[in-house]
Amino acid sequence: MEVKLEVLIELPISDQANDLRKECSSTARDELLTVSGYRDLVGYSADHQFHSLSKLNDNNLARAIELHISDFEVKDCCAFFGGFALVINGVNKIFPQCCGTIADLESWVRLKSESDLYIAIEGHPSPRAFRKGDKVIIECIDDEPFIPATDRKIEVDYQAVYEAIGVAESEITMVANRIDGLASSMGLPKNTSIHLLREMA
């Protein structure tokens, strides 16, 4: 069983793009991102607004930092919006939900040591995950629907999830180094990545 946790960002858009969206709600997401100053983007999948965080080039990552921070102090910012897609044998099983952030990694990491918890708790709805022998059972059952619709029950090998979490942690570390490098050239604090990747909302 091949399991991945794809680190996904919902790219922030500019005030100009927000105004355009208000004027015409059917404006394509790609157009809003172009108006926001992003270039040469490749979406994670054609039918979702997410992008792979690690695949953003430095210009797009710097633009995401700038738009996310806006006129706030870095210390007052939560993590980038987005989260993690659970991919089993090449099939997306769970996407980040409404209000989810990259900081949701912490709940996935807790799955390595806890046997019953909610994951992706920054967003809503949140799946419940629990260990059953050498399996992890993930239940996507809530009064609020999961978007896109997902299986109510997902079973995955614990060892495969454990390894996928480790890979996601390494990816976040690499992106953190890139963010901190960009932050210094943008006049932002050295620890900017802690806020943009780890700070709970």
Looking at residue 152, the DSSP 8-state letter turns out to be: S
DSSP-H helix ranges across 70-126: 105-110
Phi-psi sector, 152: left (phi>0), alpha (psi -120 to 50), beta: alpha
**In a 10 Å sphere around its CB, with 0-12 CB exposed, 13-18 middle and 19+ buried, how is residue 63 labelled?**
buried
Closest CA to 69 of 195, 198, 200, 201: 195
Render pLDDT for 47-81 as a digit per residue (tens, 0 to 9): 668 999 999 999 999 999 999 999 899 999 999 99
Tell me how far apart the alpha carbons of residues 51 and 95 are, in angstroms, rounded to a whole number: 12
Query: How high is the pLDDT of residue 200?
Result: 67
Q: Above 70 in pLDDT, residue 126?
A: yes
108 forms bridges with which residues in the sheet? none
Q: Is the pLDDT of residue 180 over 80?
A: yes
Closest among 1, 2, 5, 39 to 167, alpha carbons compared: 5
Q: Read off the pLDDT of each residue in 101-127 and give the average, rounded to a whole number.
A: 92
Distance CA 103, CA 7 (A): 10
Q: Using CA atoms, how far apart are residues 76 and 127, in angstroms rounded to an integer?
A: 28
Q: How confident is the model at residue 201 (pLDDT cuts 50, 70, 90)?
A: low
- pLDDT at position 74 is 93
Residue 25, pLDDT above cutoff 70: no
Given a cut of 70, is residue 46 above it in pLDDT? no
The chain-wide mean pLDDT, for the chain, equals 92
Closest CA to 193 of 6, 15, 64: 64
Average pLDDT over residues 147-162: 95
Confidence of residue 28 (pLDDT cuts 50, 70, 90): confident
